[in-house]
Amino acid sequence: MASEKKAASRASAAKASTNGKVVAAEPTFYETVESNFERAAACVDYPRGLLDQIKVCNSVYMVRFPVRIGNDIQVFTGWRVQHSHHRLPTKGGIRYADHVSEDEVMALAALMTYKCAIVDVPFGGAKGGIKFNPKNYTEEQIERITRRYTMELIRRNCIGPAVDVPAPDYGTGPREMAWIADTYQAVSTGQIDSLACVTGKPLTQGGINGRTQATGRGLYFGVREALSTVEDAKLFGLTPGLDGKRVIVQGLGNVGYWAAKNLQQGGAVIVGIAEYEGGIFDRNGLDVDEVFNHRKSTGSILNFKNAKNYKNGNALLEVECDILVPAALENQINASNAANIKTRMIAEGANGPVSAGAEQILLKRGIHIIPDAYLNAGGVTVSYFEWLKNLSHVRFGRLGKRADESSYTRIVAAVESLTGKSFSELERKVLVHGADEADYVDSGLEETMIEAYRQVKYAYHSNRKVKDLRTASFVVAIDKVAKSYMELGIFP
């Protein structure tokens, strides 16, 4: 019945008209992901049955649970979708928002499968969410909701270090992950690896240095790699390197902030920032930290010094720039505004910010996209590092940092003795520094994003059927997941 209503709604939307012309209905988020999958499936040589197994969501759980809010009882609806079990545990974030739906969670879970495959993280894809706006609830009430949702996951065996490992997403953060871990540990007594049931935790609760900035930092590495050579940059009609590239970022949340900050530090000029309350633009460049602090003190990014205000933040998406970073929600660039986008490169920081219909319009106009399935995989990459840390019960760098510094100190002393030159204290400090956890995490993230882009680029150039980077990334993912199933002997 629900599917019939959805089909009827879409049919009605398809009949809508503008200036006498029929306007095609936008596909849902899940339909967009499936459309992207099918484009890639047409470029590979695997049996249809195997492709269908890769494509479908293996498990979809919907839960409804009561929570006391003030003097009333409210019933909340939540989901946990495990898209693929070709690798275990499954992995994916939990989001809290009014717009959370089964379709959205299924789409995000599917993307997680492909994302993990592209960056060689040994997880199947999953996702979860609760339909409510946390801004309308107190911290105590959000904690109650989170802990009750966790219990619902435990009852259905949908959480555990070897089963399904959630992480933060839109509307959640380290605080909620700490509550989830605590609830799981209270029920799973005696399980030595229980902290690995969830990632994105605070450092004091088994978290890892670098997880907060991981997605935005990974986006920076990906964009930098895409512009690293003349040949690569030519795809986007740009010159190599980030220096002087004009960037507009939609969303100043966790992903948008760290993406903008790292791109700025890499030499790009952040000329525009959009948020739900509006947007600001300054062709001479915006200081990301100053904008962030301005919003923190005033409650809005608007009226920032020397910047032009945009009452409608989404209008900034149509302002000319070199790199456009949509880092908010899905379907922000769609058939209604795709023809007005004036950028050379779209770097997807959010999940599904460009609809399937919009992508075809953009590609015809020569605007190429670095896709979300690759570009925002920095979060799950560093979550993987946190999971490994929790399983090994040791902080990265703890065993080797001092030994490395002793070796480097002896090498520096030998160089000084042989050359007769003495290094300054600052130079010596840099030269003898031994890698700590943050260094290892950043190094691992950089290596992952560079290697993954090279694989996507190879698929783009080597497969004549592949016409864009999104299809190339899905081809890489399908190939890796298909080989996993074939190696298990499930498919010949």
**% of the chain surpassing 90 pLDDT:** 84
**Closest by CA position to 131, among listed 198, 181, 62:** 62
At 362 the pLDDT is: 95
* 3-state helix, strand and coil shares in percent for the chain, rounded to the nearest 5: 50, 15, 35
- Please indicate whether residue 127 is annotated as part of the active site: yes
Average pLDDT, the chain: 92
Q: What residues form DSSP beta bridges with 310?
A: 279
Model confidence pLDDT, tens digit, residues 215-254: 999 999 999 999 999 999 999 999 999 999 999 999 998 9
What whole-number distance in Å separates Cα of residue 290 and Cα of residue 280? 13
Element (H or E) spanning 362, and its range?
Answer: helix 356-364
At 26 the pLDDT is: 75
Model confidence pLDDT, tens digit, residues 290-301: 999 999 999 999
- Tell me, rounded to whole angstroms, the distance of Cα 448 from its chain centroid: 14
**Domains (ranges, CATH) in the chain?**
57-205 (3.40.50.10860), 214-375 (3.40.50.720)
What whole-number distance in Å separates Cα of residue 52 and Cα of residue 314? 36
- Average confidence (pLDDT) over 371-396: 96
At 330 the pLDDT is: 84
Model confidence pLDDT, tens digit, residues 305-324: 989 999 998 999 999 999 99
In whole angstroms, how large is the CA radius of gyration of the chain?
Answer: 23
pLDDT exceeds 50 at position 142: yes
Q: Which of 37-46, 66-75, 216-225, 330-339 has the lowest average pLDDT?
A: 330-339
Would you call 336 helix, strand, or coil by DSSP? coil
Q: Among 127, 131, 245, 261, which one carries the catalytic annotation?
A: 127
- Average confidence (pLDDT) over 277-281: 93
Residue holding tokens 């095609």?
24
Order of strands across the sheet with 246-250?
308-310, 278-281, 269-275, 246-250, 323-326, 345-347, 368-370
Would you call 289 helix, strand, or coil by DSSP? helix
